[in-house]
A and B are shown apart, each in its own frame.
Chain A
Amino acid sequence: MTGSSNNFVSKFTSQDNNSSIRNAGFEALEYLPVPTRKSERWKYSPITKLLSHTLSTKESDNTVWPQEISPNPVPHLNAYLIVFRNGVFISSLSDLPVAEGVVCSPMSSAGDQVFANTYHKTEWVGAINAAYHQDGLYLRVEKNVVLDRPIIIHHLTDGADVACFPRHLISIAEGAEVEVVVWSSATSESTGMYNGVLEAHVASNAHLKIDKVCNEDGEVFHFSHEQIIQESTSKYSMNTFTIKGYWVRNELNILSNGAGTDSVFNGTFMPTGSEHVDNHTTMDHAHPDGTSSELYRGIMYDKSTGIFNGKIFVRKDAQRTNAFQQNTNIVADKGASINAKPELEIYADDVKCSHGCTVGQFDNEALFYLMSRGIDLKSAKSLLVRAFVGDVLNSVKSEDLRNKIMNLYSEKHNW
């Protein structure tokens, strides 16, 4: 199977930093198969179409920033900004925090860093990222430091058959607090692949919050993989919003690596046309007294396809774990579909785990009730949709960010 990927990667250039992770990536590419429908993890997200392209990675980019996309995706938000275009760090558009106890730079100037995740050893997509990754954010925050503003990481994919392969590393020490927004855009003529890996270490009592937004035009295959490692009594909160995207796969892996961790992760997706959105999440409770709460809501329109796969492991030692997972989906149109699969594996005997997964239609009784008061069908539907995703949107702390996301959804859906 590896043979078929040779054309695909032929034009990739590998940079000379982080040689250990790159070598590991190349090694893995020797034996890892390209994902096909035969593998359970990729059954509903085939990438055959992507493999017919020959992509190339860029090392630098001096062309003018495209008009159609603002370098700062949330200008109203008082935030730091790090901008990457086709994986290349754009210093002139970035505004990085400079503060005591904070080390923040592009990966390219952070020296060799050690990553804990083994994504490159198990997945071909991960190995591609490891071998050919470009730049990324390197962030280290010292003990008890609370970063005063969120950091927006903005990725722009722009061009034909572009490879955009970022790799980020975030490490926040005991009691520190950081908010990050990971935003990806693509221009309307773009094709290619976004393949991003983000690894974050959250130490005891620290709190990391990530809001991830995919708002890509064009026809980009978007893969993003987050590996979060939480130490005892740390907190991780994440929201994943897929607004626009031709083909999107979000993979979130959280490891509870100490007692009493708290993980809250939510997501919404409302694909239209023939968009494809895949959310794979894994919550691994390896230590006692952890809590996790997961809420994903999707509405599938037109001929779109969706996937939700939520794994929860409760290991033998993870007694008194309290894990909650809910995935609610509406299939709004005849041609749309979703494959939803909760997977719970529980090896401890004193735990509280609940999960619910539904696929349904718009509530006709509720629609009729709203209409019987003089609200037209379209407005009634949008009231119900906003209420449906409201639970997830309301967990975005910043009002500016929340409004921006809501506006983009409403623009797309013509509310």
Chain B
Amino acid sequence: MLKIKNLHAQVGEHQILKGLDLEVMPGEVHAIMGPNGSGKSTLASVLSGRDLYEVTEGSVEFEGKDLLDLDASDRAREGLFLAFQYPVEIPGVSNINFMRAALNGKRAHKGLDPIKGKDFLAKVKECGELVELDGRLRDRSVNEGFSGGEKKRNEIFQMAMLEPKLAILDETDSGLDIDALRVVSKGVNAMRTPDRSFIVITHYQRLLDHIVPDYVHVLSGGKIVKTGGPELAMELEEKGYDWI
């Protein structure tokens, strides 16, 4: 599904990714851990098409297509989703209109007609219930005045609405209390299918108790330096990154 080869990326003059390789097969969950500044969020940004980052070397193939050749909206339309570490507040754009525009953009890309009002509302209800998103939040401006936990639940709500092939969760657990973590994880687990893959970026093993990965990678100095199973996360939690 996703093939990253020798990826180098920089912000301005600052080289952050220095030859990263990663392959994700359909249905797999990959966790990426690593110390601060190792390039975890940069990887998420580069994959989702934030143009702040410049790819200087390497390639990313998504379902056989050159991902780096597409802009952010086309990547999303091809089935990529990024759950933001810091979801953006957009005053004046309602959550519902936002999702309708997103869903219909994706449908247009596939040559489908806009979704029918009734079907859309049913989907909103279903996905909202999945992450226990308060009905009022669906009508409010995107993330405006949402608590930290509500913002993260809104990310998973959007993910459920858009049904991506590959979802990247960028520190979705940061700022969550135990209950919110449980709700968010439940939402993610409910979306696990044999075809859908996840890249879960996190600092803490805690999240991986809820979302059990197939692989755990340690990112350090812009490269993946160690790969293992879920037990690697436990070991990191115990010994810290210095151990690697």
| Cross-chain contact A383 with B76 (CB below 8 angstroms) | no
B192 lies within 8 A of chain A by Cβ: no
**Interface pair A372/B82, CB less than 8 Å apart:** yes
Assembled-state Cα–Cα distance A164/B210 (Å): 73
Known: A384-B93, A386-B92. A373 touches B158 (CB 8 A): yes
Q: Which residues of A contact B50 (CB under 8 A)?
A: 368
**A391 CA to B93 CA, complexed, in Å:** 11
Encode B60-93 as 1/0 by CB contact (under 8 A) with A: 0000000000011101110001101001101111
Q: How far is the CB of A375 from chain B (nearest CB, A)?
A: 5
Does A160 belong to the interface (CB within 8 Å)?
A: no
**B93: contacting residue among A372, A374, A383, CB under 8 A:** A383
B90-A375 in contact (CB<8A): no
Q: How far is it, in angstroms, between the C-alpha of A372 and the C-alpha of B97 when the chains are bound?
A: 15
Residues of chain B within 8 A (CB-CB) of A365 are 88
Instruction: State in angstroms the CA–CA spacing of A363 and B89 once bound together.
Output: 10
Given A377-B73, A379-B105, verify A372-B49 contact (CB < 8 Å). yes
Question: B90 to chain A: which residues have CB within 8 Å?
Answer: 363, 366, 369-370, 384, 387
B106 beta carbon closer than 8 Å to chain A: yes
Give A290 Cβ to nearest chain B Cβ, in Å.
28
Give the docked Cα–Cα distance between A335 and B84 (Å).
Answer: 33
* Shortest Cβ distance from residue B45 to the other chain A in the assembled complex, whole angstroms: 9
On chain A, the residues within 8 Å of B87 by CB distance are 369
A80 within 8 A of B: no
Name the interface size band of chain B.
20 to 34
The reply to whether B88 and A380 form a contact with Cβ atoms under 8 Å apart is: no
Q: Chain A nearest CB: distance from B226 CB in Å?
A: 29
In angstroms, how far is the closest chain A Cβ from the Cβ of B219?
Answer: 21
Verify A373–B88 contact, CB threshold 8 A.
Answer: no
Of B101, B103, B158, the contact of A379 (CB 8 Å cutoff): B101
Assuming A369-B87, A375-B102, is B73 touching A380 (CB within 8 A)?
yes
**Known A374-B77, A374-B162: A369·B92 in contact at CB below 8 Å:** no
Asked whether A388 is an interface residue with its Cβ less than 8 Å from the other chain, the reply is yes
Known: A379-B101, A383-B101. Is A371-B92 also a contact (CB below 8 A)?
no
Find the A residue at minimum CB distance from B92.
A387
Number of A interface residues at 8 Å Cβ cutoff, please give it: 22
Query: Chain A interface mostly helix, strand, loop or mixed?
Result: helix
A371 CB contacts on chain B under 8 angstroms: 49, 71-73, 76
Given contacts A373-B98, A373-B102, A373-B158, contact A366 B88 (CB under 8 A): yes
Bound together, the chains give a CA A281 to CA B93 distance in angstroms of 29
Taking the complex as formed, is B109 at the interface, i.e. its CB lies under 8 A from any CB of chain A? yes
A213, chain B: closest CB distance, angstroms: 21
Residues of A within 8 A of B81 (CB): 372-373
Chain B 82-126 per-residue mask, 1 if CB under 8 angstroms from chain A, else 0: 101001101111000111011101100100000000000000000
CB of B48 closer than 8 Å to a CB of A: yes
Q: How far is the CA of A362 from the CA of B159 in the complex (A)?
A: 25
> B83's closest neighbor in chain A, by CB?
A372
> How far, in angstroms, from A149 to B99 measured CA to CA in the complex?
38
Of residues 385 to 399 in A, which have CB atoms within 8 Å of B's CB atoms? 386-388, 390-391
The answer to whether B92 touches A375, judged by C-beta atoms less than 8 angstroms apart, is no
Q: How far is the CB of A393 from chain B (nearest CB, A)?
A: 10
Shortest Cβ gap from B4 to chain A (Å): 18
Give the CA-CA distance A365 to B101 in the complex, in Å. 18
Q: Provided the pairs A377-B71, A377-B73, A380-B73 are in contact, do residues A370 and B98 lie with their beta carbons within 8 angstroms?
A: yes
Known pairs A384-B93, A387-B93; A376 contacts B73 (CB<8 A): yes
Q: Chain B residues near A373 (CB, 8 Å)?
A: 73, 76, 81, 98-99, 102, 105, 158, 162
The residues of A that contact B101 with a CB separation of less than 8 Å are 370, 375, 379, 383
A sample of 25 inter-chain contacts (CB < 8 A) reads A366-B88, A366-B90, A369-B84, A369-B90, A369-B142, A370-B90, A370-B98, A370-B102, A372-B48, A372-B49, A372-B75, A374-B102, A374-B103, A374-B105, A374-B109, A374-B162, A375-B73, A376-B105, A384-B93, A386-B93, A387-B90, A387-B91, A387-B93, A388-B92, A391-B92
- What 6 new A-B contacts, CB under 8 Å, besides A363-B88, A370-B98, A373-B99? A372-B48, A374-B73, A374-B76, A374-B103, A375-B98, A376-B73
Please report B residues at the A interface, Cβ cutoff 8 Å. 48-51, 71-73, 75-77, 81-82, 84, 87-88, 90-93, 97-99, 101-103, 105-106, 109, 141-142, 158, 162
A residues lining the B interface (CB < 8 Å) = 363, 365-366, 368-377, 379-380, 383-384, 386-388, 390-391
